[in-house]
Amino acid sequence: MYTTIQITKQTREKLNRLKPYKGLTYDELISALVDLIPEGDDEGKYTPDFRMSILHSLLDMAHGRVYTTNEVKKQLGL
């Protein structure tokens, strides 16, 4: 079963740049990207909210939106 999704031209271009070869479908690419988010660990499965928080954290790190321990201590006056 297929469905249509709306993405911007910029998102489509980003997806195209991620394709390792032309024959890869968007479904296969998006599925591979989603599979990068771990489903759980030895203690059990993660909730969908927790999996999304992992994704957001990875994106924050990729965009430099993180602080070192020393920076946090300085901000807190410790």
**Which token pair is 4?**
């249509």
Number of separate domains in the chain = 2
Q: Name the DSSP letter for residue 41.
A: E
pLDDT of residue 1: 87
> Do 46 and 58 fall into the same domain?
yes
> Do 51 and 19 fall into the same domain?
no
> Do 62 and 76 fall into the same domain?
yes
> Do 45 and 76 fall into the same domain?
yes
CA distance 66 to 37: 19
> Do 46 and 74 fall into the same domain?
yes
Cβ atoms 71, 77 nearer than 8 A: no
> Do 31 and 46 fall into the same domain?
no
Q: Which secondary-structure segment (H or E) carries 42?
A: none
Residue with structure tokens 């006056």? 77
Residue with structure tokens 């489509």? 12
- Domain boundaries, position 10: 1-36
pLDDT of residue 16: 95
pLDDT by position in tens, the chain (length 78): 889 999 999 999 999 999 999 899 999 999 999 998 999 999 999 999 999 999 999 899 999 999 999 999 999 999
**pTM value?**
0.66
> Do 26 and 4 fall into the same domain?
yes
- For the chain, state the CA radius of gyration: 18
> Do 22 and 48 fall into the same domain?
no
